[in-house]
Amino acid sequence: MNEIREVIYMHVQWFPGHMAKTKRMIQEQIKLVDVVIEIVDARLPISSRNPLLEQLVGGKKPRVVILNKEDLADPQRTAYWVNYFNQQSECKALSFNATVGKKQLIAKLKEALMEVTAEKRERMAKKGIRKQTIRCMIVGIPNVGKSTFINILVGKKVAQTGDKAGVTRGKQWIRLDDDLELLDTPGILWPKFEDPEVGFRLAATGAINDDILDPENMALAFINHMVARDPECIKKRYQIEFDSIDEPHEILAKIAIARGFKKKGDEPDLERTGKIMMDEFRGGKLGKITLELPEDIDDMLEKKAAREAEKALLDKERKRAYNKKKK
């Protein structure tokens, strides 16, 4: 099964030109804001955090992390992730979904913003500046729900939304009231997914443009993941039975037959089945599923450290070879 996943992951890379432009824009605008509001997907709170933002923001600005689409994620795991982010310095986390009302969302957000900007507001008050507008930059990966979040805050459609990744293309300042201004930015990924599992999770939740993905392969990777984590959600949704040793393509074929999706010659239509399966996962029809578990953090950190160590060793060897050649 691991071989199947590696083949799928190798092709999950997407960094169109407008994202490079967004990166430069964030670098230029970060000095104008007080807080960075980072929208992440509650189903993959770590993989949906852009490592580029750490380079661009780092410890320069306090952060409010919004775990969006909480209605699609496992509520117990969402509560864990909120607590995880709240334990980080200069960071406050909230969970959110599109059914939350405007008043409730504004109240929760302003409370979080007041908390992370307390020190700055105190310094400004000592200088005699009492009335302070908090300026926030909203950032996140494509299709994570930034525009929906803004539209609910404002109470009308001021940011374009869509199910397809890459809808928002330009920045815009939005004044919520006398206390709060928001800078909406386009969704941004990073040039290369070093961890293939991160690429899979982002693709599964719609952060990567579906036009560059193979729906059959995507569904095979998803089945592979869920058989190891929660096979019952697939069995229940599609009314099929399978064993943990069954190959993903065999399970996908069973789903196709159960749904009556066939091609000419009575062959199961795996491509159509794969597309529908991923649409149903994204729409919550397979249940409340969180792709990243709390215990995954240590494993992800170990893999990252191993990749960085390997890269450092390669860089050292290249430098040694270059210096030897110069002599």
> How far is the CA of 23 from the CAs of 138, 168, 169, 171, 202, in angstroms?
13, 14, 12, 11, 19
Distance CA 148, CA 98 (A): 7
Both structure tokens of 301: 């950190």
Domains annotated on the chain, with CATH: 15-184 (3.40.50.300)
3-state secondary structure the chain: CHHHHHHHHCCCCCCCHHHHHHHHHHHHHHHHCCEEEEEEECCCCCCCCCHHHHHHCCCCCCEEEEEECHHHCCHHHHHHHHHHHHCCCCEEEEECCCCCCHHHHHHHHHHHHHHHCHHHHHHHHHCCCCCCCEEEEEEECCCCCHHHHHHHHHCCCCCCCCCCCCCCCCCEEEEEECCEEEEECCCCCCCCCCCHHHHHHHHHCCCCCHHHCCHHHHHHHHHHHHHHHCCHHHHHHHCCCCCCCCCHHHHHHHHHHHHCCECCCCCECHHHHHHHHHHHHHCCCCCCCCCCCCCHHHHHHHHHHHHHHHHHHHHHHHHHHHHHHHC
Q: pLDDT band at 258, cuts 50/70/90?
A: very high
Provide the whole-model pTM: 0.82
| pLDDT beyond 80 at 180 | yes
pLDDT tens figures, 104-149: 888 899 999 999 998 888 888 888 777 788 999 999 888 898 888 8
Give pLDDT tens digits for 7-45: 344 345 555 556 677 788 888 888 889 999 999 999 999
Find the range with the poorest average confidence among 177-181, 237-241, 281-285, 303-307.
303-307
Q: b/e map of 280-290 (b: 16 or more CB within 10 Å)? A: ebbeeebebbb
For 112, residues 6+ apart whose C-beta sits below 8 A from its C-beta are 64, 92, 94
Q: Encode pLDDT of 146-166 as tens digits.
A: 888 888 888 877 765 444 444
- pLDDT tens per residue, range 201-221: 988 998 888 888 889 999 999
Does residue 243 carry a pLDDT above 80?
Answer: yes
- Which two tokens mark 247? 């190959």
Distance, in Å, from the CA atom of 5 to the CA atom of 225, rounded to the nearest integer, reads 9
Name the one residue in this structure whose structure tokens are 């920045």.
171
**Contacts of residue 323, Cβ cutoff 8 Å, sequence gap at least 6:** none
Contact criterion met (CB below 8 Å) for 251 and 265? no
Distance of CA 34 to the CA centre of its chain: 23
Q: Which two tokens stand for residue 118?
A: 């307390």
Task: Give the count of beta carbons closer than 10 Å to the beta carbon of residue 58.
Answer: 9
